Structure formats: C-alpha cells, structure tokens
Amino acid sequence: MTDHSKKSPLFQQRRTVIKAAGAAAGLAVAPRFAAAQSGELSVTNWGGDWNDRTVKFVEAPLVESKGIKIVRSLNLEPERKAKLLAERNLPRGTIDVAHFSGADAFELNEQGIWETLDMKKIPNYANVRPALRSPYFVPWVFGGVTIAYNPKYIKDPPTSLAELWNPKYAGKLGVLDQSFFNWIYMAALVGGGSMTNVDPAWAKLAEMKKNMKPRIYPTHQQMAAGFKAEEIWIAANYSARITQWANDGISVASSYPKEGAITIIFGAAMPKKARNKDAAYLYLNALLDPKAIGEYGSVSMYAPSTTNAILAADVRAKIDFTAEQAKSFQNVDYGYQAKNIAGWLERWNKEFKA
C-alpha cells in the first residue's frame, strides 16, 4: 500500500515557554521535536536502486535537510533480522528505523522487536489505506503478483493463474525461486486450496515440474533476462517488476488473474531499543509524504500505500489497482506463513527444485 502543514503534530511533542522580559505571562513558541532536528539516525534498508530512490525522494529532502545525519546499513533481510534479534536484550540498540516487507515485520513483531507506534506522531498515517494499517508498521508501497507474459507470442492476455500450467507453454514457463512462497500460494489457489491451506499446492507443483519443465530463476533480474532472451514466454511476478521490465524495453506485459493478486507490502518500523525515537518518527512520517511517495511509486512502479499520493493519472493507471481488483486481493496470513514457511522451503527445495 497527508498532512502537508508546516506545523505538523509530528513536531508538537515538546513546547518551550519563553517568558518575555518584565512580562507576567509566558509566550509559547512554535513547538517542534528538539531531538529530531539533530543527531544521528540509523536506518537499515535494502541496497541498490531501492535505497538510491529512498535517499533521493525521502531521506535527503525530508530528513537530512532537517540536520539529521542518517547512518545507513544496507543488507538483506536475514542480516537485518539477526541484528535486531541479537540486540533485543540490550539497553539500547544500533538501529532506529528498519525497512522490511509486511511478512518479515510481522515475524519480528512476534519476537517483541517493534515499538507500538504513536500515530499522533505520524500525522501522514491518517491517509494510509485502511486495509494496510498496522499498530507497529508503516506501510510504504505495495503490489501484487500478476501474470507476466510476452505479447509477441501470447496474443490474448492470460486471465487465470491456471495458464501457468497450460501445456502449450511447456518449456517456456519461468518460475522465481526468490519468492517460492508465492508459487506455493498460486499452486494452492489453482489446486482448490487457499491462502491458509496450501496442502493442495504440492500436487500441482509436481504436475508443473513434470509437464511444464519450467526454467527456475534465482532472482528477479535473472527472470527479466529470461524474458529478454525469449527463453520464457509466461511467468508470474509482482506487477511492479513486470512494469519496470516493460519500461526497460523488454517484450512483457502484466495481466491481472481472476483468482486475485497475492499482495506484498513494503514499509518500515521502529525497534523498541531505538536510540533516536523522535527522529525515527519524523522519518516514518516522511515516508508517507504525498509528493515523496508519489515520486517513489512513479519510478519503482509499486502502488503507494496512501490515498493522497501525488501521481499523474497515467502513472496511477499503470501502477495502482482498480477498486474491483482490490476486492479480489489474496492477502497473506502472516501468522500462518510464519508458522509454516520453513517447512515449505524444505519441500520446495527437495520436491520441486531437485
């Protein structure tokens, strides 16, 4: 998945009263976060263009411009999780804001990592789409898994996930190992299961392996190369990725499946052991700034989490979802996934990838 005022409630936590010389009464000056205007803020995030864009649209113009020095730690989710868990029992941690997917954030919340957020200090949160809200997580952008296809070879847009099992695409199907869980969910939906019952997925995946002879790609970038080389004609991926590839000149298009798109949410949270919570609140509010979130969505191709993002109409049509599509979203049950994902990965590696 915004208050644009100069005196946002984010800056109103502390008031300073100045007494006029010789006056009997005091005069309250403009409130602000004193601590948020200086010092260091430790932010951990993905690297690459994800971080570059975060710096360009959010961190530099809306946080560092306030005099805050951001200390960045760029790595993948396992490293971020390990550090947060290792610091859980320390008086103070070394991370003030951490970027994660909604699923990873849920997992860490179950471990007692996150601060329960005071939404009065994140005034822009009022514009977050209700379905994306959480007491400990600031959703930034979101997307959904849709069908990717090469219109050069597939003239009619596929309308069902079942097309990923269509024998006429045998040898031309691409599967993304990096998001194996989405393939388990899709197989479950096609096989008669659900987002909270993936048992039917395993028979469908065995069928896919035998009949479709899929090409398995480790990363998004390698799948993009597979489409570019025309090794594959059909796959599934986040709609944002597919749109990015098309913008890069690859012959690929996105089609929304009738079963609904499996959702993915990206955002950030504040550890309980954060050192500079005032600055962290300022940062979390900046993520939801209508101009910044619109600019980020325009280049990342992920839909903004807020209802008031500033987006050109043609860009919104490309990256956002219609109200009808939103009704059919297949939302992940984070508790169910967290409980089972280790076992899913083991079966995926042994039964599907082997």
The two beta strands, 69-74 and 215-217, are unpaired
In this prediction, residue 39 has a pLDDT band, given cuts at 50, 70 and 90, of confident
pLDDT above 90 covers a percentage of the chain that reads 86
Same fold, 36-138+265-319 and 143-263+327-353: yes
CA distance 53 to 57: 6
Q: In degrees to the nearest 10, what's the CA dihedral of 55, 94, 136, 264?
A: 50
Matching CATH number, 36-138+265-319, of 3.60.20.10, 3.40.50.300, 3.40.190.10, 3.40.50.720: 3.40.190.10
84 within 8 A of 108, measured Cβ to Cβ: yes
Cα–Cα nearest to 137, from 300, 334, 353, 337: 334
- Given a cut of 50, is residue 24 above it in pLDDT? no
Between CA 172 and CA 213 the distance in angstroms is 8
Mean pLDDT of the chain: 90
Q: Which residues lie closer than 8 Å to 151 by C-beta, 6 or more apart?
A: 157, 251, 252, 253
pLDDT the model gives residue 38: 62
Which sequence spans correspond to the domains of the chain? 36-138+265-319, 143-263+327-353
Name the CATH code of domain 143-263+327-353 (choices 3.40.50.300, 3.30.420.40, 3.40.190.10, 1.10.540.10): 3.40.190.10
CA neighbor of 69 nearest in space, from 275, 295, 272: 275
Per-residue pLDDT, averaged over 321-325, amounts to 92
Question: Per residue in 258-295, pLDDT tens?
Answer: 999 999 999 999 999 999 999 999 999 999 999 999 99
Query: What is the pLDDT, as a whole number, of residue 7?
Result: 36
Is pLDDT above 90 for 190? yes
Residue 75 pLDDT grade (very low, low, confident, very high; cuts 50, 70, 90): very high
Give the separation between CA 44 and CA 272, rounded to whole angstroms: 15
